[in-house]
């Protein structure tokens, strides 16, 4: 594979993501999201990337979930993409902000109806007595909205990780991997450096 080159890490990321869409057998947009609570106690889980551009990396969730509560208390997060088929990894660290209502509404409207109902039915991260309780809530909200439009729940929105640092890792023979780190330099610029594997 060619060396990691370029001035804009977002463009490099988008190129790698496109290649992952062609090679990953399942969920090329899957990423680990690491958050921490007010006391700095970390937690991590897999989520799906929904947008990546110059503004940052966006995903959507229930604001009352563990990750939503943690992000509201501590606006710093990290992401990790690992594309095993390409033998590549991308690490991202930055601050987090909620997306605007119009953007969240637009994405919610693009989701499958079952996923829209699920966003209303799931008390994400809270105790569940059993599967039947969830199915009952799904039926309740399916009946409530009938065949009409399902509005976005007030507790559901998107978050955007605004990267301060992006590291690209590429497998190389003899564990002499390539690691290139881009660090935010002002509003739109980046400084670049290589680090030992």
Q: Which residues are catalytic?
A: 175
End-to-end Cα, the chain, rounded Å: 16
CA 8 – CA 62 distance, rounded (Å): 32
Virtual torsion, Cα 135, 138, 144, 147, nearest 10 deg = -110
Structure tokens at 28: 């090329």
Q: Which residue has the tokens 């953007």?
A: 103
Q: Is 41 exposed, middle or buried (0-12, 13-18, 19+ CB in 10 A)?
A: exposed
């Amino acid at each position: 594979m060619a060396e990691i080159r370029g001035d804009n890490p977002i463009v490099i990321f988008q190129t790698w993501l496109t290649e992952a869409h062609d090679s990953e057998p399942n969920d090329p947009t899957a990423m680990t999201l690491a958050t921490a609570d007010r006391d700095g106690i970390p937690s991590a889980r897999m989520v799906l990337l929904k947008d990546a551009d110059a503004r940052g990396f966006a995903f959507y969730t229930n604001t009352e979930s563990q990750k939503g509560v943690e992000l509201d208390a501590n606006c710093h997060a990290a992401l990790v993409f690992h594309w095993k088929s390409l033998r590549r990894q991308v690490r991202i660290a930055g601050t987090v902000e909620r997306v605007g209502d119009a953007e969240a509404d637009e994405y919610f409207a693009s989701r499958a109806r079952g996923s829209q109902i699920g966003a209303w039915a799931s008390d994400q991260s809270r105790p569940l007595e059993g599967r039947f309780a969830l199915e009952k809530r799904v039926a309740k909200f399916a009946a409530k909205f009938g065949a009409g439009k399902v509005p976005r729940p007030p507790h559901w929105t998107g978050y955007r990780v605004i990267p301060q640092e992006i590291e690209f890792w590429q497998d190389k023979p003899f564990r002499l991997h390539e690691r290139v780190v881009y660090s935010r330099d002002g509003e739109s610029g980046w400084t670049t450096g290589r680090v030992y594997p």
